Amino acid sequence: MNIRPLVGVIACRREVEGHPAHMVTDKYLRALRDYGLEPIMLPVWQGQGQEDARALLARLDGLVLTGSYTNVLPERYGAEREPENTRDDVDRDAAAMSWVPLALEQQLPLLGICRGFQELNVAFGGSLHQAVQRVPGRLDHREPEGEKAEQYAPVHDLEIQPGGRLAALYPEASTRVNSLHQQGVDRLGEGLRVEALAPDGLVEAISVADAPGFTLAVQWHPEWEPQSHPLYDAIFKGFAAACATH
Ligand SMILES: N[C@@H](CCC(=O)NCCCC(=O)O)C(=O)O
């Protein structure tokens, strides 16, 4: 019997039909299944204890921190809220900040995407720009107008740093990626490695420098039709291989 590696996918707290809900959009789950993994949504429980969290992650072969329209609370990186920062998810914040160190402790393969990338940076003591478009010299990284296929199409170049985890997965020095984010890395967290940069110098991918396993987080959305983009495909193949050997 072919047992698929079990990959936890962090949920977002939303309201559905007037009811509090835990939610993951289909494209994250579908991409993981398409690469031979078994995704399982992880609710973000208020007040989850560290031992409960440790025991939960011990049952997994991988962990994915997804994107979200909400933002990490600015208080978590010592900043004042800026006017553009209007959507929070405090339960998701608490879960992500709890799970990152536990995943590293267990050498659990970790893939962060967009908000998940920002969460990894904050978990390592880094900070975020809350409106990158207002930062001098930075591009506007928010999604373009249009249908989803237009919004998730590659829009800017990406320079992959040589010698890193991403370069080990994907041999080309540059490519183009999609961009659907208003926030971005300001101060890089202690112990994180820059894996890729946007043309304006914004950090677009990071890894945990001394982690022996797969710990990669990217600002763009590789879960969007990954098999049609060589870099996205390489990321999911690398993550799937790491989960399969965990
Ligand atoms: N809110 C943050 C992170 C952006 C992000 O994760 N967008 C996801 C869009 C929906 C999806 O594809 O899951 C920011 O604005 O920087």
Instruction: Kindly state the tokens that stand for 65.
Output: 């921190």
State the Cα–Cα distance between residues 118 and 137, nearest whole angstrom.
Answer: 20
- Output the CA angle 142-144-198, nearest 5 degrees: 50
Q: Residue 136: inside a domain, yes or no?
A: yes
Place of tokens 């995704």: 39
- What is the ipTM, given to two decimal places? 0.98
pLDDT of residue 202: 98
Helix 90-105 vs helix 115-123: crossing angle, to nearest 10: 60
Q: Residue 161: inside a domain, yes or no?
A: yes
Q: Residue 84: inside a domain, yes or no?
A: yes
Cα-to-centroid distance, 113 and ligand 1 (Å): 8
Q: For 19-74, what is each residue's pLDDT tens digit?
A: 999 999 999 999 999 999 999 999 999 899 999 999 999 999 999 999 999 999 99
Helix 90-105 vs helix 50-57: crossing angle, to nearest 10: 60
Indicate the average pLDDT of the chain. Answer: 97
Q: Residue 1: inside a domain, yes or no?
A: no
Mean pLDDT, residues 171-190 taken together: 98
pLDDT of residue 2: 78
Counted domains in the chain = 1
116 pLDDT higher than 90: yes
pLDDT of residue 63: 98
pLDDT of residue 46: 87
Question: 10, 64, 69: which to mutate for ligand 1, most atoms within 8 A of CB?
Answer: 69
Question: 86, 114, 129, 220: which to mutate for ligand 1, most atoms within 8 A of CB?
Answer: 114
Q: For residue 120, what are the domain limits? A: 6-245
Q: Residue 222: inside a domain, yes or no?
A: yes
134 pLDDT higher than 80: yes
Ligand 1 pocket member 221 (CB < 6 A): yes
Q: Residue 39: inside a domain, yes or no?
A: yes
Place of tokens 């690469």: 35
Please report, for the domain that includes residue 11, its CATH number: 3.40.50.880
Q: Residue 176: inside a domain, yes or no?
A: yes
Which residues fall within 8 angstroms of residue 17, CB to CB, at 6 or more apart? Answer: none
Q: Residue 188: inside a domain, yes or no?
A: yes
Ligand 1 pocket member 207 (CB < 6 A): no
Which residues fall within 8 angstroms of residue 168, CB to CB, at 6 or more apart? Answer: none
**DSSP code string of 143-195:** PPSS-HHHHTS--EEEEEPTTSHHHHH---SEEEE----S-EESSPPTTEEEE
DSSP state of 88: B
Closest CA to 74 of 60, 57, 93, 55: 93
pTM of the model: 0.98
